[in-house]
Amino acid sequence: MTGDAAARVRTADAVELALFRTRPERAARDTALLLVHGTFSNRNFFSGTGERGLAGMLAARGYDAWVAELRGHGRSGHLARGRDWRFEDWIRYDAPALVRGVLEHSGAARLVWIGHSAGGIIGLAHAGLGVPTSSRVSGIVVASAPAPVGLTPPQRALAATGWLIARAVGRFPARFFGIGPEDEHVGVFGQWMQWNLRGEWHGTDGTDYFASLARVVVPVLALAGGGDHLVAPPRACEQLLAACGSSDRTFRVCGRATGFSENFDHNRVLVSRGARAEVWPLIADWLEQRYP
C-alpha cells in the first residue's frame, strides 16, 4: 500500500474521502472488505507502518481489502472553513460514500465492514439506518466498539475532562497526550462525549441510534480486549452487540481468561504481534466461514 489513495469518493455534503486498496494475492473473493479506523487514527491502523497490517493479511487470504480514512483524517478532506461537523456526519455522510465507493471501484456485489472503536460503531449505526447503502453491507466486524451509554464514575470523569479540553482548544489534542497520530475535531469529540455523559445515543434529528440497531440483521462479530478497562470494557462492547437484531452474533473477549496469551487493550487487540498471531486468524476464519 502506498501513500497515494487508490480512489477518492465524494460525500453528499461535498467532502472528499480517501480509500486505499490492498489487492488480493490470488483471484478475489466475491465479497470486498472495507476497513475503517477509529478516533485519533488514520489508515495506518489497518495498513501497517513497517509490518503488514490486517488489510494485508486479509488480502493474502483472497479478499479485496479497502482501508478508508474518515473526514478530518489522513488524506481525506475537511468541510470548508467555518463549517462544523459531528460524529454522526461520519455515520450519515461518510459511511454511505465509502460503501458506494468500494463497491463501484472493486466491482464486488457486497462488502463486509470491519471497524475499530468508532469505526465499528459507525458501521453498525449506518447498517441500522436502513439507507440504500445499508443493504449492500453483508456483514460487520467490530473491535473495541462500546455502546455510548452507562459510564462508570472514572469514565465519566475522563469524558468530562476530555470534553473541556476539546472545547478550550477547538480539538482534542491526541498527539500531545500520546493517544494517537491524529487530533480529533471538537464537533466529533464533543458529540461522542455528550452521548456518553447523557447516557443516550440520539442524533440531532432525534434518531435513536441504539434502537435502530435492531435493524442490523447481517452477521456480526464483536471483539473486546480483556485488558480494555476504560475506553471499551467488554461489558459495553457486548451491550452494543446485544442491541443488534442479527441471529448470527459472535462475541469474543480477547484475554487470558478466554485462552489468549495476553489481556489485549483497546488498540493492541488489532495492532500487535499478539493480535497478528491470535486475533487476526480469528477474524479471517469468521469471514471465510460466511463469505467463502
Domain extent listing, the chain: 7-149+207-290
**Cβ partners under 8 Å of residue 67, min gap 6:** 1, 19, 20, 21, 22, 35, 37, 43, 46, 47, 53, 55
Contact 39, 171 (CB under 8 A): no
- Its pTM stands at 0.96
Q: How confident is the model at residue 1 (pLDDT cuts 50, 70, 90)?
A: very low
| Amino acid at site 61 | R
Reported as a single tens digit per residue, the pLDDT across 190-238 is 999 999 989 899 999 999 999 999 999 999 999 999 999 999 999 999 9
| Amino acid at site 119 | G
| Amino acid at site 273 | R
Strands 171-172 and 249-254: unpaired
Q: CA-to-CA distance for 25 and 62, rounded, in angstroms?
A: 6
- Answer whether CATH 3.40.91.50 is correct for domain 7-149+207-290: no
Contact 216, 245 (CB under 8 A): yes
Contact 66, 32 (CB under 8 A): yes
Q: Pull the grid cell for residue 195.
A: 452521548
* Distance of alpha carbon 267 from the chain centroid: 12
Reported as a single tens digit per residue, the pLDDT across 236-287 is 999 999 999 999 999 999 999 999 999 999 999 999 999 999 999 999 999 9
Q: CA-to-CA distance for 72 and 89, rounded, in angstroms?
A: 11
